[in-house]
Structure 1
Amino acid sequence: MKIKDLPKDSRPREKFLEKGPDALSKSELLAIVLGSGIQGKNVQELAKQIIQKSGKDFLDITVGDLRKIAGIGSAKALQIVAAISLVKRFYQEKESNSQTALPLFSKAENLSQLQNRRYIGNKYKLADWIFSILDKECSGNSFTDIFAGTGVVAARAATRFKNVIVNDFLHSNHAIYKAFFDKGEWDKKKTDSIIQEYNLINGKDLRDNYFSRNFGGKYFSRSSAKVIGFIRDDIEKKKNILTEKEYYVLISSLLYAIDKIANTVGHYDAYFKKTLVDDTFAMRSIFPIQVEDVEVYREDANVLARKIHTDIVYIDPPYNSRQYSRFYHVLETLVKWDQPKLYGTALKPTEENMSDYCRNTAKDKLAELVRDIDARFLVVSYNNTYASKSSSSLNKITHEEIHRILSEKGETKVFEKDYRHFNAGNTDFNNHKEFLFVTKTK
């Protein structure tokens, strides 16, 4: 497959520009350095072959080592070795100018941040716009992100509001919230040491396990899948010597690590059918957020709405028929670790946590939530995907219906912004906009 035939969000250069270097795997970053592939092999396949061959010795690779790889001549070998040498030179100079040398991966920017994951509906790049409107239109001390997804809106809210509630009914999102937001006790040196040990594991030395038997050679390389399964099993075995916070820090660090090498466009509804799958698994710690008062829930949003009082509720429901629990079933299985029987080409378990907001009942469920929640301000996010070629991408609720439902609670204003959304496939959708409905209740 040629690079131009990949979805735009899966092309290394476009992905780097859209999401930054943390969203790319090692082989994708190397592909950008290489620039082009060779006859019969695109640049991404070539980069993966180089990474696989060099393994953990990549930083010490030589021109001679690279020229042993079929199709690699002096020019491309020099590109790679020169880039490595340049980074080493700058790092050595930085070390020599510092009284206390820091390990290369100790700084916060080298840890996994909350937003560093591929997730449909991620609001990270819209957060500034959302809060610029909230700052003008809303007031109060408490904030609820009731369909929190990645949690980035709740994280921003935690810097502005005294009390914050973050909720999502996916097990994987709940684990991430517990790791990033929970104020429980944890020993960073302890979890860092465990992660360091995990990074020394070679998949070739391991037996097959539940994860590699099901997902190896498909969503992940066989070797990486064996490592992932081994680590997940080991975290569970260590549970009695870990605090709850430490447990979730390790689980979340694993989730962020596999996201970088997954052989997908960013979700697990399907995987690329190709011979070379990224085999560069590396785990690094997440970077928990320092917050004062964040309550973490894993409940149906409509059920939670009847239990809480909040000044501002941010409502960002699923927009279309794509069920998040199905899109991220691999992450759900990894977190729950119940090792269910899997079905179909995509290897999904039986259905669980299916949202009514992805069905024709979406309008009625939104009306119910709006009616039941005790809040001074209601803020609803939605986009304008009403003419997509893909039926599964079509929105379930019209803007007119949203406005009518909210207007029954109070005066409603509508704001809009041009925004190129995360595209999970090949759907081409022009004039995409994000809309924000803000209601001050009566």
Structure 2
Amino acid sequence: MKNRQLEYASDIKVVQNDSFKYGQLSMFPEISAATQVSQFRPIHYLGSKLRILDFIQSTIDQVEPSGGGVCDLFAGSGTVSRHLSKFRPVTSVDIQEYSRVICSALLKPISGDFNVNEFLEGCQRSSHYAKLYSCIEPMIEYEACCIDQALHGDPNPLCELLEKGSILSYEQGINLDCSSKLIHALKCTVSRLEASMFTAGAEALVVRYFGGVYFSYLQSVQIDSILEGVQELPEEARDIFLASVLSTASDIVNTVGKQFAQPIKPRSADGTPKKNIGSRVQKDREKNVFHIYKEWVELYLAQEKSVFDHYIYKMDYSDALDILSNRNAHNVKVVYADPPYTRYHYSRYYHVLETICLRDNPKISRTNLNGGTNLSRGMYREDRHQSPFSIKSQATTAFENLFRKVRELDVPLVLSYSPYDETKKSTPRVHTINGLEDMARRYFSRVETISAGQFSHSKLNNSNNNFDISYEAELLIICQL
């Protein structure tokens, strides 16, 4: 085991030299992914509308045939905004910063010659990367050792690492009831971080908050090094290079469904390690961040510049509608809205991406389990957004507000709605389709509902804690004057 650990460590330690197998410029070969830009998914997104983009577009075109501006009011991953931007001006709105970054990268591709290889080489050769890697080296080596042990029949050290290997938790005096080997690795790591003054700023945010939880420690160091490099770019380039970080993080995250709702659970309900946990962890955590990031940057940079002027706002839907109404801003002629309909808050699935964008060392919510206080297992931000559309007591007021303010804007509304099968364990909606139609008719003279046909959203049905959602037909509620 010791020889295997040293062998693994030798592959990663020499990043500070010129011989690192992933550190040379040759690690960034030219790729063909940039030629496939007609349609791509920036992040793995719950309830993505990728499969019905043409349906949404054709519906909007029928409701508003002049080709005037459209407001995408809950833009999320930006796929609807991006698709519509080919045909009409788009005003993209979302209250989350990660959405603003992605939509900016999608709707306003930059011109200019950016050398991605040079940028990534600079990130790897930077003093920040060398210093941060040196701090996290004990955890990188220990993680490699745990994965190797799991692959050779002893998954318990890996299970413990996944459950109690958070650097931030150790910093705050939590999860100290660990094996001596894990405690030693954590203690050495935190001591080095403190000596390097990396425990207060943003330089080590990803590895401290999410290393070992959602990503490997090495992947987290690589992400932190790229984020440092992004800050040195010209302002007009930052959103594309930052959006590429989000896409990379979404690709490599070690969870069921590639969401950030909860880290992978290494044990079954009876406490025994899950079958093949070592290979499942290794599959995601051996992915090289720089390789995947290179592909994503090339993909974003290959986009064609739109012939229309587009606008991106990070703000609440209600405030955005006020701005559009008061100033007649951006000549919006139709509103498309895809608010959440279930009690599950979307921010729970994308809080890691939000923190990566903000780099603000947020306070983490806490749980009280077994008589003790711990950081939430998902490392949720205390201030993560709680949508009123997902709170049963507030949803009616939120929908009423939406309908009223769009009506005051004097334009039609196209509202997405995902039905559910009441006979299955589908997640109940906070409002029925009939209830929404009745509410809409108070503000619009013509309300009708049309179906996109048979399709299915991505589901998290590998987890017993998630419902088997059956989306037989995505619906659009068309509200016209």
Asked if these proteins are the same fold (TM beyond 0.5), I'd say yes
Q: Which residue identity is paired with 2:118?
A: S
Instruction: Pick the aligned partner of 1:213 from 208, 214, 220.
Output: 208
CA contact (8 A) 2:334 2:412 kept: yes
- Partner Cα separation in structure 1 for residue 423 and residue 460 of structure 2: 13
What does 1:413-428 align with in structure 2 at a 5 Å threshold? Answer: 413-416=448-451, 417-425=453-461, 426-428=466-468
Matched, 1:432 2:472: yes
State the Cα deviation string for residues 278-308 of structure 1 (Å, max 9, x = none).
2212312042542221100111112211221
CA contact (8 A) 1:216 1:225 kept: yes
Matched, 1:243 2:231: no
State the partner residue of 1:397.
431
State the partner residue of 1:80.
none
CA contact (8 A) 2:81 2:103 kept: no
- Partner Cα separation in structure 2 for residue 431 and residue 327 of structure 1: 19
State the partner residue of 1:359.
391
Matched, 1:301 2:229: no
Q: Which residue identity is paired with 1:387?
A: E
State the partner residue of 1:252.
243
State the Cα deviation string for residues 257-284 of structure 1 (Å, max 9, x = none).
1111101122111122344342212312
Inter-CA distance 341–189: structure 2 relative to 1 (3 Å threshold): same
State the Cα deviation string for residues 300-359 of structure 1 (Å, max 9, x = none).
112211221421100110121111222111111110000123231111120332210111
What does 1:261-300 align with in structure 2 at a 5 Å threshold? Answer: 261-264=252-255, 265-272=257-264, 273=266, 274-275=277-278, 276-277=281-282, 278=284, 279-280=286-287, 281=289, 282=291, 283-284=293-294, 285=297, 286-288=299-301, 289=303, 290-291=305-306, 292-300=308-316
CA contact (8 A) 1:116 1:256 kept: yes
CA contact (8 A) 1:319 1:358 kept: yes
Structure number with higher relative contact order (C-alpha < 8 Å, ≥ 6 residues apart): 2
Matched, 1:335 2:357: yes
Give the drift of 1:234: 3.5
What does 1:17-416 align with in structure 2 at a 5 Å threshold? Answer: 104-105=30-31, 108-109=34-35, 114-140=40-66, 141-161=68-88, 163-182=89-108, 187-191=112-116, 193-198=118-123, 205-208=133-136, 209-236=204-231, 238=232, 242-264=233-255, 265-272=257-264, 273=266, 274-275=277-278, 276-277=281-282, 278=284, 279-280=286-287, 281=289, 282=291, 283-284=293-294, 285=297, 286-288=299-301, 289=303, 290-291=305-306, 292-308=308-324, 309=328, 310-342=332-364, 343-360=375-392, 361-373=394-406, 374-385=409-420, 387=422, 393-407=427-441, 408-416=443-451
Query: What runs of 5+ residues in structure 2 fail to find an aligned partner?
Result: 1-7, 13-27, 137-203, 267-276, 365-374
Give the secondary structure class of the aligned counterpart of 2:449. strand
Give the drift of 1:113: 6.2
CA contact (8 A) 2:76 2:94 kept: yes
- Partner Cα separation in structure 2 for residue 271 and residue 254 of structure 1: 19
Q: Which residue identity is paired with 1:331?
A: L
Q: Which residue identity is paired with 2:209?
A: N
Q: CA RMSD in A?
A: 2.9
Query: What runs of 5+ residues in structure 1 fail to find an aligned partner?
Result: 1-51, 57-101
Give the secondary structure class of the aligned counterpart of 1:380. strand
- Partner Cα separation in structure 2 for residue 216 and residue 403 of structure 1: 46
Inter-CA distance 136–235: structure 2 relative to 1 (3 Å threshold): closer
Inter-CA distance 113–229: structure 2 relative to 1 (3 Å threshold): farther
CA contact (8 A) 1:312 1:377 kept: yes
CA contact (8 A) 2:362 2:381 kept: yes
CA contact (8 A) 2:73 2:93 kept: yes
State the TM-score, normalized to the length of structure 1.
0.69
Give the drift of 1:246: 1.0
- Partner Cα separation in structure 2 for residue 245 and residue 223 of structure 1: 29
